[in-house]
């Protein structure tokens, strides 16, 4: 499991080649996924630039109609150091860490109309310990149905939200404390990659994160905590 606790999107200067003035590039940094950036064309490129070197091992895109996607990473001299491609099926990619990155260009193409994007997750992900075997990947249905006394039925259908619950046990207090501090510092939805080697079954997703940490007693050698992820839009 990979979690992007520190999203370098928020430390970058953002620009694009063909923005729609009504859906500006700044929308990518909004916590609401559906507050989109929209291009005026079917294809677009988005540039992220940093003032200091970044090490990056993941790239996630949320809420987009793009089906052709790729990214290029450049160093401080403007030299290309890495190119990656993304699958439209899961819109997430983990790759060997690339140091010395000063800018990234993301290329997006939609099948028709104009291309849009909800947000970007980019940076150095945190590798979680393996969850216990009782993890649950389910759906949260917030749809509402009302029935009148005369038998009319009104259904407010809402697409269900993905929900993931994982329990963990670690024997290293340093790891336990580090994760506890990272979770406590989360103030906005994050990208979670539950099983990065099995995207065909369990794709990455943008989620609200809650943690429950069992306070260890003196002499404990096993430290227990739970993490709950609920899809955020």
Q: What is the pLDDT of residue 134?
A: 94
Q: What is the pLDDT of residue 89?
A: 65
Q: What is the DSSP string of the chain?
A: -EEE-S-GGGGSEEEESSB-TTS-GGGGGSS-TTS-EEBSSSEEEEEEEEEEEEEEEEEEEES---SEEEEEEE-TTS-EEEEEEE-TTT-EEEEEEEEEEEEEEEEEE-SSS--EE-EEEEE--EEPPPPPTT-EEEEE---EEEE-TT--EEEE--PPEEEEEEEEEES-HHHHHHHHHHHHT--S-EEEETTTT-TTTS--EEEEEEEEEPPPPTT---EEEEEEEEE--
Q: What is the pLDDT of residue 192?
A: 95
Q: What is the pLDDT of residue 23?
A: 97
Closest CA to 226 of 147, 158, 91, 129: 129
Burial of 18 (0-12, 13-18, 19+ CB in 10 A): middle
pLDDT in tens, the chain (233 residues): 999 999 999 999 999 999 999 999 999 999 999 999 999 999 999 999 999 999 999 999 999 999 989 999 999 999 999 999 887 767 788 899 999 999 999 999 999 999 999 999 999 999 999 999 999 999 888 888 888 888 888 888 888 999 999 999 999 999 999 999 999 999 999 999 998 888 878 889 999 999 999 988 888 899 999 999 999 99
* Domains parsed from the chain with CATH numbers: 2-127 (2.60.120.260), 136-231 (no CATH)
Q: How many CB atoms lie within 10 A of CB 218?
A: 4
How many angstroms separate the CA atoms of 63 and 233, rounded? 8
């Amino acid at each position: 499991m990979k979690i992007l606790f520190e999203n370098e999107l928020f430390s970058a200067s953002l620009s694009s080649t063909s923005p729609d003035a009504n859906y500006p590039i700044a929308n990518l940094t909004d916590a609401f996924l559906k507050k989109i950036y929209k291009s005026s064309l079917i294809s677009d490129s988005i540039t992220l630039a940093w003032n200091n070197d970044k090490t990056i091992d993941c790239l996630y895109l949320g809420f987009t109609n793009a089906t052709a996607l790729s990214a290029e990473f450049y160093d401080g001299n403007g030299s290309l150091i890495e190119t990656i491609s993304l699958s439209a099926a899961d819109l997430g990619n983990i790759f060997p860490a690339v140091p010395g990155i000063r800018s990234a260009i993301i290329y997006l193409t939609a099948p028709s109309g104009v291309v849009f994007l909800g947000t970007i997750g980019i940076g150095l992900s945190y590798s979680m310990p393996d969850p216990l075997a009782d993890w649950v990947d389910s759906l949260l249905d917030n749809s509402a149905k009302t029935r009148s006394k005369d038998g009319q039925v009104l259904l407010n259908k809402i697409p269900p939200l993905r929900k993931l619950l994982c329990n963990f046990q670690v024997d290293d207090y340093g790891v336990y404390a580090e994760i506890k501090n990272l979770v406590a510092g989360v103030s906005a939805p994050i990208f979670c990659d539950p099983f990065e080697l099995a995207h065909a079954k369990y794709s990455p997703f943008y989620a609200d994160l809650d943690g429950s940490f069992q306070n260890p007693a003196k002499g404990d050698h096993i430290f227990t905590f739970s993490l709950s992820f609920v899809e955020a839009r």
